Every structure is written in C-alpha cells, then in structure tokens.
Amino acid sequence: MALSKKTVWPVLLLMLALFLTACAGGSDSSEGESNPEGTTGTGEEAQGGDLILAVLSDASSLDPHGANDVPSSVVQENIFETLVQTDENSEIIPGLAESWEAIDELTWSFKLQEGVTFHDGEAFNAEAVKMNLDRIRDEELGSPRANLFAMITNVEVVDEYEVEITTEYPFSPLLSHLSHNSGGMISPASIEADYEAIANGGDPFSVVSENPIGTGYFKFESWNAGSEIRLVKNEDYWDDPANVDSVTFRVVPDSQVRAADLETGNVHIIDPVQPNEVARIENSGVASVLRTPSSSLAYLGFNVQKEPFDDPLVRRAISYAIDREAIISGIYEDYAIPAIGPLAPGIFGYTDDIDTIEYNMDEARSLLAEAGMEEGFTTTIWTNDNPQRQAIAVLVQEALAQLNIEASIEVLEFGAYLDQTAAGEHDMFILGYSNPTGDADYQMYGLFHTEQIGNPGNRSFYSNPEVDALLDEGRRATDPEEREEIYAEVAQLLTNDAPMAFLLHQEYLNGVADTVSGFDIDAAGIYKLKDVSISQ
C-alpha cells in the first residue's frame, strides 16, 4: 500500500474521518481508567455459554516460550499458568506456587500447589517446573522470551512439590518476571514432543503451538489460522473453575464489522474500539466501553543499521518533526498521553526529569542539514493491519515531506510484519510494546539491549555498549534509588541516540456487551476471562 506524500491537512482530516468512521462502525484501537459499566452485566448471571471476542489480529504462536506479541499472549494466558500472579494492584500473589521465600540473595524456594494436572493428565510438580525454566533458557532453542529468565543459573528439584531457583546475581524483579505469561507451565510431554520434532528437522515451538497443553482453566480445542481460536472449559481445573463453557477468539480485522457484531449481539467483547467509536457504543443501549490505563508504548522505530538511519542526527530530526499532540487529538481523540521516553507513568524507573524531544520543525531541518541530508531522501514506513498505526503513518509521511523526505507506506499482515521486522528488512516501522511486569528492566532491556536484537524485541537493531552496561547494571542493582538513577541515565542516552521516536501511551478501549460481567484487562492489554459470566 502506498499513499501520496502530497496530501494536505484538510484532505488528510477528511480521509481520516472516512477511514475511522462509518455508519456501521469505526476502526481499530488497542489501548485504555476502568469503566464500571464495562464490567457489569444486566439480567441474571448464568453459568455456561460461549464467550465470543472479536479481535483485530490473530495469534502468531500459542507456545508461551515462542511468541513475543500481545495477540498471542491474550490467548496463552487462559491455557497456561505461572508460578506466581499479580493482582489488580500489581501485588504478587500465589499461582502454581502456593508460597515462596528468599533463602539468600541469590536463591528462592517455591512450594508448589499439590494435585494439579496438565490438560493431558500429566502431573504438575517440581520436575515440570525445572523442565519449563530450562527450556525457555535453552540457547539452542532461541526463545524470544529468554531474556526474562537469563539471570537464572540453576533450577533444582528439592522434592516433588518444592523447587529452588538460583540467580547469577540478586535480581529484584524476579517474582514479576515469573508472573509473566512467558513463564507459563507447559506439559512435560509436549516439551519432549517439541524437542523430538526439532531433532527430526521441525521448527522450534511448533508442536506446542499447534496443541498447547497447560494447567489453566481453559483447554485448547482448535485453531483455524486467520479465522478463530476456540478454548473450552477445563472441567478438571484444580482451583475455582471458569464460568463460561468456552471462549472463541474471532479474528475480525474490520472495525466496522466488529462494532456491528457487538451491537447486534453476534459477539460479546470487541478489541480494540476506536476512540471515535466510544460515544456510539456507550449510546447503543446494548454495550459500553471499558477504559484501562495502559503501560504500552507506541513508537516509530528506525533500523539503525541502514543508511541514513545509522546517523543519530537523522533519527533525531525525524523525531522532532512528529507532532505527537496532533496524533493524540486527531487519531486517538485524547485517549492517550504523549510519550517522553519508553516508560509510561507508573512504571518503576519512569522519570520526566530528562531532556525530551518535542515537535519542532526548525530543529528538524537544522539537524538534517548538519547531517548533510537537507536535500532529503526516499524511504519506507512499515506498519501492520492496525488502522490507527496506518493513520499515524500518514501523519508522519506528511511531516517528512516538509523535510524533502519521500516516504511510502507499506502495510503488512501482522505475522509477516513481525517476521520481517525481526529480520531487519525494514527502514522505519510503527509498533507498540507493553510492560506487564511494571518494571523498567522489562521494557528497556527488551527494546534496547544488544542481546535482544530481532525477534526478542529490539527491532531497531540498536546497539550501544554504554546502554548495554547500564541495563546490565540495572538488573544487578538491589537498591531502588540506585536502579531509578540508572534507568534515568538510560532514558537520557536514548533521547540523544533516538533509536526510535517515542509517540504515546494509549488507553485500552474494549467494547463489552451489557450481558457480560466480570471482564477485565490489565495494563499490558491481557484479558482476564476466568470470572466472566454471560447473563441470559
């Protein structure tokens, strides 16, 4: 898809209005203060029923060790469980581990829940925990989530229901990392089958992805790629069971269709709702919008290994040319705040005490001239099947035209988009990155450490030894104030280097039928479906 750079502002507004609004629906958002109306159903609650969600994008993998995207995580969350969890206040609570204690600064002991079985009947025990944590750290396997557990040096089985985890250095956010869905426990039989398939020339993670088997309150039933994923209630679940009989994740890329399906009762929940659709859904009489503060960052990334983006002056120039307030008001209708760095307010390590890049076309022109690029150049902006990102691309395209930079826009299917940006085939790209752990390490390490280049998260292919050393130090430091100072220093270095243009932190907006109660979503965009009920 290529869009002309000659569109003027009034025409752009008209195009966005037509693009994001239609009599039958709207478009696609992905993020959002909790609206009580979005979580309260009407009528008498009943057990059972098929909960249907209409979502923008399909999962890329159902193996929690093999994917690094939210569309995959929201499904995995319901099949697999972690040793510990977080509650609505981001406090650590028991999961598959009923209790834990720090034996010393490097060693943690976890007592496991007894009587838990995987969906295939395999026993959950300390051996299963060891097999899972060893697998995700297996360098030959190459999990994109390995960095979350790279500090673990040993997992020891103490007895059937006790395991000890030893880390290379004191690591403050260990429990938060263990709560991440990538630490989901997979059936040992599935892991063995996956390794066997690899030995016979198969792709890593493929066996588990095609038939994911965890301990969760829902079990996998089917996956019609590009169409829908269906889960069914785990009748043998070890804890309080889910309320509904099944959950269907229906892939509906067209926002107009999603909104119409919600209004006509064909689906119960839609994700995302476009900001301009909020009033319409709230006034529909059959549904409301759940708004949730987001830890997510929306950004314009540069492939810093490609010319001219290997020059930080060029990257900073482009970042200065982007009017974030225009994006937030014109596309997100103010359901977002500007990003001054990679972290959202409320994330540990966030600071606003840094020099920031704000909209300034004169500074942009000056920096391009300093880089010897005042005549401009030709490039591409990649985005995926999220219309809001496509609309951002249009605004960026228009801004760059004022700098003599001719940028064509290419729209890729989400799976191909992830694959090709991981391979470094792009120039510029628009993407997001959420923070489910609430700690700076997760986002900063994943996006900017040299070891995370490619699929693990560093799709800018950014490498700075000083940043690497600080991020490594941030992982090892135990004093909170020291860690905050480290991440503030990293934030300033990132402003100077500009491997990406930080755009905004959006709210999650979900359309929820009034017949649904108990639905929630966390700051990382992960659905909470266990307690959902559908009233009759």
As a whole number of angstroms, the distance between CA 139 and CA 289 comes to: 43
As a whole number of angstroms, the distance between CA 402 and CA 237 comes to: 59
Contact present, 380 and 408 (Cβ < 8 Å): yes
pLDDT in tens, the chain (536 residues): 334 333 333 333 333 333 333 332 333 333 322 222 333 344 445 679 999 999 999 999 999 999 888 999 999 999 999 999 988 777 899 999 999 999 999 999 999 999 999 999 999 999 999 999 999 999 999 999 999 999 999 999 999 999 999 999 999 899 999 999 999 999 999 999 999 999 999 999 999 999 999 999 999 999 999 999 999 999 999 999 999 999 999 999 999 899 999 999 999 999 999 898 999 999 999 999 999 989 999 999 999 999 999 999 999 999 999 999 999 999 999 999 999 999 999 999 999 999 999 999 999 999 999 999 999 999 999 999 888 999 999 999 999 999 999 999 999 998 899 999 999 999 999 999 999 888 999 999 999 999 999 999 999 999 999 999 999 999 999 899 999 999 999 999 999 999 999 999 999 999 999 999 999 998 889 998 999 999 96
As a whole number of angstroms, the distance between CA 76 and CA 413 comes to: 21
Helices (H), 48-120: 70-79
Distance from CA of residue 167 to its chain's centroid?
Answer: 26
As a whole number of angstroms, the distance between CA 299 and CA 221 comes to: 35
Predicted local confidence at residue 477, as pLDDT: 93
Only one residue has tokens 């892991």, namely 191
Of 132, 301, 109, which Cα lies nearest the Cα of 215? 132
Specify burial of residue 413 (Cβ count, 10 A radius: 0-12, 13-18, 19+).
middle
Q: Strand pairing partners for 337?
A: 505
Question: With left for phi above 0 and alpha for psi between -120 and 50, is residue 324 left, alpha or beta?
Answer: alpha
As a whole number of angstroms, the distance between CA 118 and CA 129 comes to: 12
* 3-class secondary-structure state, position 82: coil
As a whole number of angstroms, the distance between CA 65 and CA 61 comes to: 9
* 3-class secondary-structure state, position 255: helix
**Quick one: tokens of 516?**
């649904």
